[in-house]
Structure 1
Amino acid sequence: TDAYGIGRTGSILSRLVVILRQLKLKTPYTSRLVYSPEKLSFMLSELAKEVDRPGTEPTANLKYSNSPNSLNIDPGKEGQKLSLPGTKERILDSLQRREHNIDAVIAITSSTLSDSEIESSKERALSFVGKKIVLNNGDNSVIITDQELISALKLPTGIEETTLNNIITAWETKFYREAQEPEFKYDKETLEVFSFTPPLDGTKLEAQATRVEIVNLMQQIESGTDENTLKGNLSLERTAPKTSLAETNDLGIKENIGTGTSFYAHSIVNRIHNVAITTDKLTLHIVRPGETFSFNKTIGDISATTGYRSAYVIKNGKTELGDGGGVCQVSTTLFRAILNAGLEVTRRLPHSYRVSYYELDNKPGIDATVYAGDVDFRFKNDTDQHVLIYAQANSQDLAMKVELYGTSDGRSSEIVDHVTWNPKPALPTQYIPTTELPSGKLQQVDWSAPGISAKFTNIVKDKDGNIKSEVTYTSNYRPWAAKFLQGV
């Protein structure tokens, strides 16, 4: 019976009689408890401010790539958080039981590593130092460095899913592309090209398959592989364009038959400009069947009057300012595309010195210099169909690509037996005065390289596997000095 309800109904006299009777009978009663949910919630929120303590999960961090001494293991910091539903339930239960002291419900939000776990985590992370994972799919590729791999480790064991998911999510954005329909407009008589858009498959990253590939490769690293670079498949779902390139023309230009790439990081502004303008002059040029292509003839005059800027070129055995510095970036990239396609090279000359840009993605000796007259790069279209040169220079990423479109006759091309010999030390650093920089300021424009001799053989086979051609290219590079612009 509720004590609060005794003597609350009826007339004053009857209520008084009930109260007096209960005093005599001494019957036990219960009291009814009432609480304010709003006030209880407020009280709990204030308590949470006192109880909640953020923690941090254990992490591994490699400050410098390939540097074991820069590895740091953070054992983490224990955190706690008030459980609002659990504590509220205990409070309400204690009111019914007339309990005055209760324990709040507190959840541990993060744990810390023990001394032994710190040591085991360090050994585990060290196995990733100097390692990297490369995932490829056609022209698409990604690299996960040792720093990124170590940051994706959950300590003491497992994978930190949030970190790995962040990497994959960024790739999903990078590799998402709608299918690109081909476009090709040209003059059938002169073969002047007005516009060209190559067909491209639409792509979408298969996130789960990519995650499985990464985890498998990470497990191989933990197992103690001797390989520093582990290669895997970048899983992409592809959607083909509705129209084929062959449907846009009757020249036999229907597919990619060769590709060449190069990079030119650290180039000065004028060199970047010259690479771009030369690429614009080269791209969309059609080479007829049996025709010999001349780089110099196609590009034309290289001077300030044709839009070129002064940049550093190799001339008369030394580096000096001259119109067109950077043109050889384009001829070198074209040379690589021709090698890849297996077309016949009729003239190629190496540089006098090793040029650092050309070894950013290749071994020494796979370059082609041009200057004027007979210092040219030439090749013959020895296929039965036309060949379109499609060149692109990315002045932001400082990378360029030359693609050749035509009809494959089944030939294959490979580079074999690359060797180097006769090494020589680099020359002393050179400082080149310039008024384009503040006095005393230095800007490096070239990197030192030792002299060396290099050669490789390009073997081209026909569709039946018979050797069509076997050409050896030899280069003899003199020592090369690092060069700095020095403000005067």
Structure 2
Amino acid sequence: MIPMKSKTQLKQIALKAGLSLAGGIALFVLVTSLATWSFRAVYRGRVFPGVYLGWVNLSGQTPTAAAGLLREEFDYPENGEIILQYDELSWSAKPSELGLFFSPNYNAEQAFNAGREGTLTQRFAAQVQILRHGLTLDPTFVLDEKTGVEFLDQIASEVNRPVIEASLELDGLDVIVQPGQIGREMDVAASLEVAALQMESLQSGSIPLIVTETYPDILDVSAQAELARQILSQPLTFRIPDAAPDDPGPWTIPPEKLVEMMIIERISAENGEEYRIALDPEQLRAYLKNQESKINRKSENAQMYFDDDTLELVLIEADQIGLKLDVEGSLLEIQTQLAEGKHDIDLVVEKTIPPVTAESTAEDLGITELVNAETTYFYYSDAGRINNIATAAAKFHGIFIAPGETFSMAAQLGDVTLDEGYSEAWIIFGDRTIKGVGGGVCQVSTTLFRTVFFAGLPVVERYPHSYRVKYYEQTATPGVYNTKLAGLDATVYVPIVDFKFTNDTDDWLLMETYVNKSYRQLVWKFYGTSDGRTVDWQTTGLTDIKDPPETVYEENSNLDKDEIKQVDWAVEGASVTVTRNVYRDGIRLWQDIFKTKYQPWAAVCQYGPGTENYPPEEPDPDDPCAKPAIIEEENSDSS
């Protein structure tokens, strides 16, 4: 059993323990204070031991010595290198040039003040901490943005540049190019932030400058410039594709003309803006339009005649392929080919092969025999009229008419002019017979009309003469006339008055014309295949005959005194009706009636100024223009 202490004893024990504890604490404080005092006394004016600034041990260093030591160790602002880069450009900068500064004195002061700031308790605690564990301080750097901005502004002046659009223009045959330029603007503030991040590491290194690039709409025109130079490098030639020897062309535009036609225009393309090099469509279109009349032509059948012995066709003139220039298609083709660097370009031309070519045979066309032939006569014609008959008739020799085709004489005849080989001869113009180009052509139209009439072919359009022309009533015997032929004439006056008929057979018709100037005759032949049709015709003969008007006498200042010239001849007026019935196999296919009313025509006599005893008081009915004989009476003296 453990003996129990009395309360008095317990109090004594507690008192002793308290005194011991208090004494221990007092002793600890005394010892600590003594140690601290000794520590501070030893490091008075010096950095406490165990204090580092970064990696630099500043223990026991005076602020001045510490500053010197830090100056040697922290030389990064002056000896570091920051490479500033943009694209292929670069600049070298010290961190200090970018505004980074390090103060050795300030940082030494910070190290010296470690454990010396705050209340007594705070200083005591800090010193104890330093003694036990040491203290590492971060070096303090200062970034002066103004200095950095000023430095980077200098670089920005080299980096920054405006946006420049590329341009292209012509100076004569020279192509002038202004290259485009990408605009650049350096972001100084952002670039300084990137530099600051690098400098925080206290390491040298490279950083990218922050630059905003602005691209022009058109940067590079070198390809377009090369195309323009290529276009102007040589003449541009157009031609008909697979041209025959007699086809028109080629046509050439020299560079001096091309440069006038060239356009350089800015367009919006799929990938943005660009320049288009081309020839001005309007100028090129006008050029092509100017060539249309030289290129465009109708296809023409070959011309042949039928050999009655061999029953084959013999070539007179080869066929002609029709040509039609496609202006818009050619325009597009030229621009496309030109853009590919080509200078010899085929035009877009539509070609039409005629139905009858040089290879066509009589069997192909169904031409097997003479269908009909008619002859007219032109006795007493002057040289001009004979020439016109031969010239006009030649236009129809060897001409083919397709089945179902309506043939126009005026279209085939074409212009009747001196340039076409015609001469001046007597023609009916209005109510007069005058000298004009082409007199005698109606001999040809009348012969064609009769060939059509007696072949039983449908007549579509026919006009008679204003008055009876005796040429068309002539027979094979000179001076003998057949009035039954009245009403079987036809006149043509291009392009107003035409004669038309239709080939309503199943086969082609071939026309042949033969002029015998010596015998004054024109023969017109139709070859084809007869379908058995026949013609029955009747004429009323001349009816309602009217006497010609009185002779007209005109003074003509171009005639000499006593010179008299008859320029028109009196003709009776009359009416005639011709009826034609066309049969096949005894069945009448149709009937047509040709009614003609000829006007009475007056004789016209012209005389020179001053002609005596003219016009005659009593004209000779047989020769109304004759000047009456002057009968001189002898005066006798009366006694």
TM bucket normalised to smaller: 0.3 to 0.5
More contact order relative to length (CA 8 Å, sep ≥ 6): 1
